[in-house]
Amino acid sequence: MKVLVIGGGGREHAVVDALTRSASVTEIVCTPGNPGIAAQARCVPCVQEPPFLAALAGSEGADLVIVGPEGPLAAGVTDALSARGIPVFGPSMAAARLEGDKTWSKAFMVRHGIPTAQFRSFEALGPALAYASVQPLPLVVKDAGLRAGKGVTICHNMDQAWVALRTIFSESGARAVIEEFMVGQEVSVLAFADGTRAVQMLPSQDHKTIYDQDQGPMTGGMGVICPYPLTATEQGTIQDRILDPVMRGMAAEQTPFVGVLYAGLMLTAQGPKVVEFNARFGDPEAEAVLPLLRGDLAQIALSCALGRLDPAQVRFSGGASAVVILAAPGYPGEPRRDIPLSLPSVGPDVHIYQAATAMRGEQLVSAGGRVLAVQARAATLALALGKVYALLPEVGFEDAQYRLDIGERIGVRPELV
């Protein structure tokens, strides 16, 4: 089948890479793609808005469209593709509210008894500040809209809460969610969803702040380990109390969920609770999880799009995978661009996924905040991390930022061989 992938970051590079291993795929097209993706797929420019993307899928004769980023999903690209009868792996605009509108998402969780942090939603600065000022610290302030993972602030004092809320409400029409701070290990559980059924992928753990020891501002994610060692009981609880109720609730509300249901969870003393839902592959979770997928990604995605996913299709290899992100100086603020990059060739169990890169003439350069995702697979997490960290001196670029403590939260340190 011919597959069109929408997006041009590290996540989409990992998706395209997985599609090259899918026996059912005859051709991969990606829009807009990036220089790394261009080595594995035909990249075509297109205005990244639903009518243009749907027209491209039609003119390309795509048998399946896989949508990477949240932006086109929130804008309704799935609806535009479905209207043309093109199978699409991604939720409708209504279902993508699970990620795109945190106020709606929290209310959905309450309606369906899905465990999550205590919260209140606000449409104005004054009431939000009044509420925050009487809450125990730390507290979590979230922008209710899409902010590429950077709309969340953990506030340890009222000054931080004031700055975070003032920033959110500086935009007209903004809304904020204020939540209790949950304590525990944070885990990303992504599931393939076909409208009625959600089948878990391997669990993973992202590291969201820019600096080691979970310090500094939030980013889109700086490194991932996979699998996170969830117990079978925890996986069962997540299925029964979180994923299945979402699938039932979305179907009951006439917005069945198709695509990747990404549950960002906190393993609290009271059990797993939802930090947030996303409506797509995590980035950089995809870069860590997909190299371990042994099922045919295109067949899985098509089965989801057609509402007939068989759990037996979702198979993973043993072993472990680790990702470390190399970010440009300035990120998560304004990143420096146009930094020359020079990538070494790597072995079969290692990938350098390109996230924000561009060509300037013959030179590969950085083109955004998170530039590269270096991934390795090995028998254990310690060995996978060892492979990644051993490669970084060869991959690094001028003033690159990266975390040195990926895996440490669960007591794993890189093992060099």
Total residues contacting ligand GLY (rule CB under 6 A)?
8
Nearer to ligand GLY, 71 or 87 (CB): 71
Minimum distance between the CB of residue 388 and ligand GLY, rounded to whole angstroms? 17
**Gap between the Cα atoms of 319 and 299, Å rounded:** 23
Among 10, 36, 195, 221, binds ligand GLY (CB under 6 A): 221
Nearer to ligand GLY, 286 or 350 (CB): 286
Nearer to ligand GLY, 34 or 219 (CB): 219
Number of helices and strands in the chain (H, E): 13, 22
Minimum distance between the CB of residue 415 and ligand GLY, rounded to whole angstroms? 25
Contact between 105 and ligand GLY (CB under 6 A)? no
Q: What 3-state DSSP class applies to 331?
A: coil
Minimum distance between the CB of residue 396 and ligand GLY, rounded to whole angstroms? 22
User: CB of 145 within 8 A of CB of 172?
Assistant: no
Contact between 72 and ligand GLY (CB under 6 A)? no
**HSE-up of 181 (CA within 13 Å, CB side)?**
16
Stretch that binds ligand GLY, among 210-218, 278-286, 292-300, 329-337 (CB under 6 A): 278-286
Contact between 71 and ligand GLY (CB under 6 A)? no
Contact between 91 and ligand GLY (CB under 6 A)? no
Closest residue to bound ligand GLY by CB: 221
Q: Is 26 exposed, middle or buried (0-12, 13-18, 19+ CB in 10 A)?
A: exposed
Stretch that binds ligand GLY, among 16-24, 160-168, 276-284, 296-304 (CB under 6 A): 276-284
Nearer to ligand GLY, 195 or 282 (CB): 282
Among 33, 36, 272, 282, binds ligand GLY (CB under 6 A): 282
Element (H or E) spanning 287, and its range? Answer: helix 285-289
Contact between 287 and ligand GLY (CB under 6 A)? no
Among 285, 326, 387, 397, binds ligand GLY (CB under 6 A): 285
Could you check whether the bond before residue 227 is cis, i.e. omega within 30 degrees of 0?
Answer: yes
Among 35, 87, 90, 149, binds ligand GLY (CB under 6 A): 149
Could you check whether the bond before residue 344 is cis, i.e. omega within 30 degrees of 0?
Answer: no
Q: How far is residue 255 from each of residues 34, 94, 130, 246, 274, measured CA to CA in Å? A: 33, 6, 35, 11, 20
Provide CB contacts within 8 A for 165, sequence distance 6+: 125, 128, 129, 132, 141, 176
Contact between 151 and ligand GLY (CB under 6 A)? no
Nearer to ligand GLY, 188 or 313 (CB): 188
Q: Is 276 exposed, middle or buried (0-12, 13-18, 19+ CB in 10 A)?
A: buried
What is the residue whose two structure tokens read 């939540």?
A: 179
Q: How long is the chain?
A: 417
Contact between 36 and ligand GLY (CB under 6 A)? no
Applying the rule CB under 6 A, the residues between 153 and 212 that interact with ligand GLY are: 206
Could you check whether the bond before residue 69 is cis, i.e. omega within 30 degrees of 0?
Answer: no
Nearer to ligand GLY, 192 or 383 (CB): 192
Contact between 143 and ligand GLY (CB under 6 A)? no
In sequence order, what are the beta bridge partners of 359?
Answer: 364
Nearer to ligand GLY, 103 or 278 (CB): 278
Q: What 3-state DSSP class applies to 129?
A: helix
Binding site for ligand GLY (CB under 6 A): 149, 206, 220-221, 278, 282-283, 285
